[in-house]
Amino acid sequence: MNASPPSAPWAPRRAADSVAYSINGLHYHTWQWGPTSGPAALLLHGWMDAGASFQLLADALPGHWRLIAPDWRGFGRTAWAPGGYWFADYLADLDGLLQHLSPDAPVLLIGHSMGGNIAGLYAGIRPARVSRLVNLDGFAIPGAQPREAPARYAHWLRSLSTPPERRQYPDFAALAARLRQRHPFLCADQARFIAEAWAEPSGTGVRLRADPRHRRPNPVLFRLEEARACWQRVTADTLWLSGAGTFLANGSLAEENGACFRSLTRLEIDNAGHMLHLERPVEVAARIVDWLEPSGGWPVQ
């Protein structure tokens, strides 16, 4: 991958509104761009990310689109879950959000990584609620084997005896510098923006907003056959975008998972890896818009 950061100064082009809801007993935060009514597109972030990171993609998508990026439970500005984090809860949270955001009309789901996995499962569980589905590098996770269960449960039990700590940095500049080390395609302004989305001031500097319990091992194995059973019920046209440099893009697993979908288009973004919505937001937005146009575009007028 040969991504390089933009040379010009960067600032958000579209202002986002901060809107919160009560979902399944939690204060649930969202970032929203564009109209406050009409067809909705939900931008669903991945693990240890936050909804605000979609600012780069929102800037590149058409200005008249209604975009909503929630912070999943325990991420960003959404409340931490007292009972911990179980994957089915994300499906329930998405279902609850749609009751507020689009109770009578199906939505466009655009999900990255974990968010793409949630979107794909939900589109098969409640197919009538999803008009189109865009997955950003989140469909090629290998399934776990039942023989892994004893060790996984033991690992999880051991983790419960040690409270996880929130990651600390001296200041936002230090976190931004760390982000640029990991993601050199980000310019300084973009890295600072994401740093401020991911962290908050603390007495000794800044600390990540995400609940550190997300880093505990999950005792529940990922059952691929169950996911495939959900994907086979997806009726929405589906776009699977992946970075050409990601390990999730190729191989028999990706082919087998892709075959579960009734109507699937697979495309790759050059010079991009797993974080393609940050690495190449303009290209990702263009592929989404171009894919929607042959079927009448989106929103449907």
Question: Which tens digit of pLDDT belongs to each residue from 139-192?
Answer: 878 889 999 999 999 999 999 998 899 999 999 999 999 999 998 889 999 999
Query: What pLDDT does residue 35 have?
Result: 94
> Could you give the maximum distance between any two Cα atoms of the chain, in Å?
55
Residue 249's DSSP bridge partners are none
249 has a pLDDT exceeding 80: no
Query: What pLDDT does residue 301 have?
Result: 44
Written as one letter, the residue type at 211 is D
pLDDT tens column, 99-125: 999 999 999 999 999 999 999 999 999
Domain ranges of the chain: 17-141+222-295
Of 13, 43, 17, 26, nearest in space to 189 by CA: 13
Query: What pLDDT does residue 163 have?
Result: 85
Average of per-residue pLDDT across 3-22: 85
pLDDT tens column, 57-116: 999 999 999 999 999 999 999 999 998 899 999 999 999 999 999 999 999 999 999 999
The one-character DSSP state at 52 is: G
Q: What is the overall mean pLDDT for the chain?
A: 92
Distance between CA 246 and CA 253 in Å, rounded?
14
Is residue 285 within 8 A of residue 291, CB to CB? The reply is no
Is residue 159 within 8 A of residue 217, CB to CB? The reply is yes
- The CATH architecture assigned to 17-141+222-295 reads 3-Layer(aba) Sandwich (3.40)
300 has a pLDDT exceeding 60: no
Distance between CA 102 and CA 95 in Å, rounded?
10
